[in-house]
């Protein structure tokens, strides 16, 4: 049976160490890419949430200041949707 020379063993250990270091570096780079993507998505979600909260607060404020206008607008919107739905339903029956 052949025995390995000390030089060959050292070279093998050195190669394994280099490969391990490369794998670790690659894992860190991939982790940073995914981490930064996650952070970016998280920031975007927080911005959207804040924007929606502001919009909801603006609508609430408008309803408190002009409740009759808000009710009239909602009624008009519901009426328009009803007319559109009725028109679509009648046009399908006649086809």
pLDDT in tens, 17-58: 788 888 888 877 777 777 777 788 889 999 999 999 999 999
70 Cβ partners below 8 Å, 6+ apart? 62, 63
Distance CA 4, CA 10 (A): 10
pTM over 0.75: no
Q: How many CA atoms lie within 13 A of 6 on its CB side?
A: 0
pLDDT > 80? residue 12: no
pLDDT > 80? residue 69: yes
Q: What value does the mean pLDDT take over residues 5-21? A: 71
Q: pLDDT tier at 87 (50, 70, 90 boundaries)?
A: very high
CA distances from 51 to 37, 43, 60, 62 (A): 21, 12, 14, 17
């Amino acid at each position: 049976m052949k025995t390995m020379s000390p030089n060959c063993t050292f070279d093998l250990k050195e190669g394994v160490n280099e490969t391990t270091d490369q794998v670790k570096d690659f894992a860190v780079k991939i982790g940073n890419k995914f981490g930064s993507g996650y952070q970016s998505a998280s920031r975007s979600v927080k911005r959207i949430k804040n924007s929606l909260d502001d919009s909801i607060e603006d609508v609430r404020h408008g309803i408190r200041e002009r409740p009759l206008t808000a009710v009239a607008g909602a009624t008009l919107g519901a009426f328009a949707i009803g007319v559109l739905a009725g028109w679509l339903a009648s046009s399908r029956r006649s086809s």
